[in-house]
Amino acid sequence: MLGRAGSETRPHTVDYNPSMRRSADKPLAGKTVVITGGAQRLGRQFALSMAQAGADVAITFRQSAREAQHTVVDVAGCGVRAVALRCDVTDEKSVKAMVKEAVRELGGVDILVNNAANYETAKFEELTLKQWDAIFASNTRGPFLVSREMLKPLRERKGKIINLGSLGGLLPWPDHAHYCSSKAAVHMLTKVMAKALAPEIAVNCVAPGMIDLGEKAAAAFMKKMAGKTPMRRNGTGEEVAGAVMFFATAPHFITGQVLAVDGGLGLGGESV
């Protein structure tokens, strides 16, 4: 269901100053972007990076209404149009309504970033069918549904789709069978879509490794993984956003690629 951040019926929109729109150092000026799960964490970083590059941005949120409103205000502070749309990416009706509203608010869509996803740890023998289905619903069905419903506006502008995969979709992590499988499916979905949607739409995928977002609960784990990473540190949200920006601004000829942003961690096949 759509909603103003804190409301149930209308999107939350912040106006912008048109005089700030165009600049030679803003490669996405005049472009419009939809980012699923863009209220917080990496999604928020993507929204800010693309806004700083000149794009008008719509983010979706499911429960994080307060965070979505804050992100919209910060994005609009970059001098672009910003809107937050309530959406459950696992629900077809909700996705259809979100896409219709996004096109109405933005006037069209140039770039879709399928970011909304869930992460969970579970021992294989304790993994339930409910957990398996829930992860696949958010992580795999979500990108499929949103991409399918966004095809018309993206084709009209010869747009781009950027999926968020994971190093876990490239490596087998023993306590993440459902998560790893769902992200591996996103990587394959990226390649299938790249062939199926060419030549109008370019489709690529960013697969982050260990990204430190400053969460205290993960500090010990992050320290351990930094020691296993060839670059001897974990990644940052800005670095993942840089990879997303690469695909957003890259030649349309680049499609079907899965780019790992992992500091070389995947080279050693390290488990989590």
State the chain's mean pLDDT as an integer. Answer: 92
Greater model confidence, 161 or 8? 161
Annotated active-site residue in 179, 180, 182, 203:
179
- The CA distance from 262 to 258, in Å, is 12
Q: DSSP H helical segments within 138-254, as ranges?
A: 142-149, 151-156, 177-197, 219-228, 237-249
Q: Are the C-beta atoms of 116 and 43 separated by less than 8 Å?
A: yes
pLDDT at 218 (0 to 100): 87
| 119 is known as an active-site residue | no
How many beta carbons lie within 10 A of that of residue 74, not counting itself? 15
pLDDT at 181 over 50: yes
The residue to which tokens 């749309």 are assigned: 85
pLDDT the model gives residue 14? 56
Domains of the chain: 12-262 (3.40.50.720)
Mean pLDDT to the nearest integer, 30-45: 97
Say if pTM beats, i.e. exceeds, 0.75: yes
pLDDT, tens digit (0-9, with 9 covering 90-100), for 193-234: 999 999 999 999 999 999 999 888 889 999 999 999 999 999
Q: What is the pLDDT of residue 3?
A: 40
Q: Which residue shows structure tokens 């690529």?
A: 204
What pLDDT does residue 13 have? 59
Burial 152-190 (b: 16+ CB within 10 A, else e): ebbeeeebbbbbbbbbbbbbebeebbbbbbbbbbbbebb
Residue 229 is given by DSSP the state S
Q: Is the pLDDT of residue 21 over 80?
A: no
Q: Residue 270 — very low, low, confident or very high, per pLDDT cuts 50/70/90?
A: low
Q: pLDDT for 68-125, tens place per residue?
A: 999 999 999 999 999 999 999 999 999 999 999 999 999 999 999 999 999 999 999 9
Beta strand extents in 36-121 (DSSP E only)? 56-61, 82-86, 111-114
**Strand residues in the chain grouped as ranges (E):** 12-14, 32-35, 56-61, 82-86, 111-114, 160-164, 202-208, 258-261
Which pLDDT score, from 0 to 100, does residue 22 have? 46
With a cut of 60, say whether residue 15 has pLDDT above it.
Answer: no
Query: Looking at 46-55, 149-158, 213-222, which range is the least confident one?
Result: 213-222
Counting Cα atoms < 13 Å in the Cβ hemisphere of 12 gives 27
Residues of the chain above pLDDT 70, percent: 90
pLDDT at residue 269 in the model: 66
The pLDDT score that the predictor gives to residue 128 is: 98
Say yes or no to pLDDT of 12 above 80: no
